[in-house]
A and B are shown apart, each in its own frame.
Chain A
Amino acid sequence: MKGNEAMAEAAIQAGCRHFFGYPITPQTELSAYMAKKMPKIGGTFLQAESEIAAINMVLGAASAGVRAMTSSSSPGISLKSEGVSYIAGSDLPCVLINVQRGGPGLGGIQPSQADYWQATKALGHGDYQLLVFAPSTVQEMVSLIFKAFDKADEYRMPAMILADGMLGQMMEPVEFPEKAEVAKVEKPWATNGHQGKRAHNVVNSLYLQAPELEKHVVERFKRYDIVKANEVMVENYKMEDAEVAVVTYGATSRIVKSAVNSARALGIKVGCIRPITLWPFPEKEIAAAADKVQKFLCVEMSMGQMVEDVRLAVNGKKPVEFFGRTGGVIPTPAEVLEQIKKLAGK
């Protein structure tokens, strides 16, 4: 399946019956799949008049307790940012998909990873975080969509799949679970009609008194601490005896692994650390690696964004170098190999 279609199908199998979108390259096949499939299964596909409308429809659907999703690509995600902040401020679960393309501005339509900061630090105003999952294969796109819905429900917070154009557009074989296991999360807070049996539920992000708002934000950050303690996902590739660690995520990790294999063939002890959750970031795992390896290299399709989190985690113990291509240019395995050779002094 194509990455974009696989994510759409996974969302449906995860119980999502409400999708609100607006077309944008290189994400459009996802919306197109939803448009075709949702009416056949009694779901709602709605092409909104804008990204801003779509995200606010997600807010409404999520308030009613259903699994809701929207998807877009970089400039469209920027437009959705206000709504995402409102969703986070209302403690609502939902899934957002960003199939990244080059930026800033209208940028380009080729793959990019330049929205790392946006996803992990600042998708909208206010004190809040998103769960951010970064798949590197079409199969992983599927498993992380299931996880994103489950974890969003569990922690009552928005979850994002941070993909890129390459993953969205590529074809790979993919297996779906025979019977999808979907976590059943009770949502007693949902505004789905009290039918005279309970008090009104209120979904809101406005608090009239500053101490009241502070109390809610502090409570939310206590939840974030639980997320940080329990939900970090990371892959170590050939790290057992590695002297150089290449930190990378998403589609770029496929290129890096190819370069790591070539470097290993040349006798260079190099491995790869791949954060699968970008928030929560695998700080402890990278800090632990800093006690073992001599050098770090961070490879991204950007001017260097995740590298800042890597440097924070390494905390000055070892040098952290960066290599990246940007604007929609994809680094090649040969370019990454050159960087590894340089670091290894070969």
Chain B
Amino acid sequence: MLGLERYIVVTGHYGSGKTNLAVNLAFDLRKQGLPVTVVDLDIVNPYFRTADFRKLFEEQGITLIAPPFANSNLDLPVLSAEVFSVFAQKEGYVIFDVGGDDAGAVALGMFRAHFERISYSMLYVINRYRYLTRSAEEACELLCEIEAASRLKATGVVNNSNLARGTEAKDIVASAEFAQQVCDKLKLPLICTAAVRPFADELQGKVENIYPVDIYVKSVWD
């Protein structure tokens, strides 16, 4: 799917939509019948993380490896030793949901030696409407920081431009040029443009590589 390797690393700005993308990828890859493991590597953000979806994942037969104290009141930046086990998996997909910015990417860095021995896709999720990554320059600068902190190189860009519930199809269309600029500057391919399902059909043909997503990450009142 989307030309992705078996090991998929999802990085980006805080709130760029990494977790929502990771959850969608997990469900779609699982539908293909292969084992899927999601690794919640976020140790910098206490809320809105893949560990929130433990029950949904279990229902779908997706394995979740989350920091042992995720969603508890113990604010400890600790990762489970179980994370190392995924590098020995012989089949199936492993999705790493990394914390935001360079701060979150530090945790990814400790696995660098393991990543060097495997093929992986490292996705850089961008949102044209996110305050600190509105220009291609800002978006590129942030990836440099993430790559420096994680000591890994991104392999592709995911355009996840959205305005949360206020998103309209035209907003996604209007983000295409920005996404292309980021890709050109970074010399990376655009893996896909994520669009919520009602718009995904409408945008087929208008925007390249549309990846339809559902919204899982939301507030209690939504």
Instruction: Tell me whether A25 and B75 are in contact in the complex, defined as CB-CB below 8 angstroms, given that A166-B219, A333-B221 are known contacts.
Output: yes
Report the Cα distance A26→B14, complex, angstroms.
14
In contact, A330 and B220 (Cβ under 8 angstroms): yes
Interface CB pairs A-B, < 8 A, 20:
A1-B15, A5-B14, A5-B131, A9-B131, A25-B46, A32-B103, A107-B73, A165-B46, A166-B47, A166-B219, A169-B47, A169-B48, A170-B219, A171-B164, A173-B129, A173-B163, A173-B166, A174-B131, A254-B219, A330-B220
Query: In the complex, how many residues of chain A place their beta carbon closer than 8 angstroms to a beta carbon of chain B?
Result: 30
Query: In the complex, how many residues of chain B place their beta carbon closer than 8 angstroms to a beta carbon of chain A?
Result: 19
On chain B, the residues within 8 Å of A127 by CB distance are: none
B56 close to chain A: CB less than 8 A:
no
Instruction: Tell me whether A110 and B131 are in contact in the complex, defined as CB-CB below 8 angstroms, given that A257-B221, A333-B221 are known contacts.
Output: no
On chain A, the residues within 8 Å of B75 by CB distance are: 25, 109
- Taking the closest CB of chain B, its distance from the CB of A35, in whole angstroms, is 11
Q: Given A1-B130, A102-B73, A257-B221, list of 17 further CB < 8 A pairs?
A: A2-B15, A9-B131, A25-B46, A26-B46, A29-B14, A32-B103, A109-B75, A110-B46, A165-B46, A166-B47, A170-B47, A170-B219, A255-B220, A255-B221, A258-B221, A332-B220, A333-B220
B45 close to chain A: CB less than 8 A:
yes
In contact, B164 and A172 (Cβ under 8 angstroms): yes
On chain A, the residues within 8 Å of B219 by CB distance are: 166, 170, 254
Of chain A, the residue at the smallest CB distance from B163 is: A173
Report the Cα distance A26→B46, complex, angstroms.
7
Choose among A1, A165, A173, A333 the residue that contacts B47 (Cβ–Cβ < 8 A): A165
Chain B facing A: main interface SS: loop
In contact, A173 and B164 (Cβ under 8 angstroms): yes
Report the Cα distance A254→B75, complex, angstroms.
26
In contact, B131 and A1 (Cβ under 8 angstroms): yes
On chain B, the residues within 8 Å of A172 by CB distance are: 164
Question: In B192-222, which residues have CB < 8 Å from any A CB?
Answer: 219-221
Choose among B15, B73, B132, B221 the residue that contacts A171 (Cβ–Cβ < 8 A): B15
Of chain A, the residue at the smallest CB distance from B167 is: A173
Top 6 closest pairs, chain A to chain B, by CB? A108-B73, A171-B15, A258-B221, A254-B221, A173-B163, A169-B47
Of chain B, the residue at the smallest CB distance from A327 is: B73
Choose among A5, A26, A165, A330 the residue that contacts B132 (Cβ–Cβ < 8 A): A5
Interface string of A241-267 (1 = CB under 8 A from B): 000000000000011011000000000
Report the Cα distance A120→B220, complex, angstroms.
27
On chain B, the residues within 8 Å of A5 by CB distance are: 14, 131-132
Most buried by A among B130, B164, B166, B219: B219
Interface string of A90-108 (1 = CB under 8 A from B): 0000000000001000011
Question: In B152-209, which residues have CB < 8 Å from any A CB?
Answer: 163-164, 166
Choose among B46, B129, B130, B163 the residue that contacts A109 (Cβ–Cβ < 8 A): B46
Report the Cα distance A254→B221, complex, angstroms.
6
- Taking the closest CB of chain A, its distance from the CB of B151, in whole angstroms, is 21
Interface string of A304-344 (1 = CB under 8 A from B): 00000000000000000000000010101100000000000
On chain A, the residues within 8 Å of B166 by CB distance are: 173
- Taking the closest CB of chain A, its distance from the CB of B139, in whole angstroms, is 15
- Taking the closest CB of chain A, its distance from the CB of B167, in whole angstroms, is 9
On chain B, the residues within 8 Å of A1 by CB distance are: 15, 130-131
Of chain B, the residue at the smallest CB distance from A254 is: B221
Most buried by B among A9, A165, A172: A172
Question: In B55-113, which residues have CB < 8 Å from any A CB?
Answer: 73, 75, 103
Report the Cα distance A172→B221, complex, angstroms.
13
- Taking the closest CB of chain A, its distance from the CB of B50, in whole angstroms, is 15
Report the Cα distance A102→B132, complex, angstroms.
30
Report the Cα distance A258→B14, complex, angstroms.
27
Report the Cα distance A29→B100, complex, angstroms.
11
On chain A, the residues within 8 Å of B129 by CB distance are: 173
Report the Cα distance A65→B75, complex, angstroms.
37
Choose among A9, A32, A169 the residue that contacts B46 (Cβ–Cβ < 8 A): A169
- Taking the closest CB of chain A, its distance from the CB of B202, in whole angstroms, is 21
On chain B, the residues within 8 Å of A2 by CB distance are: 14-15
On chain B, the residues within 8 Å of A26 by CB distance are: 46-47
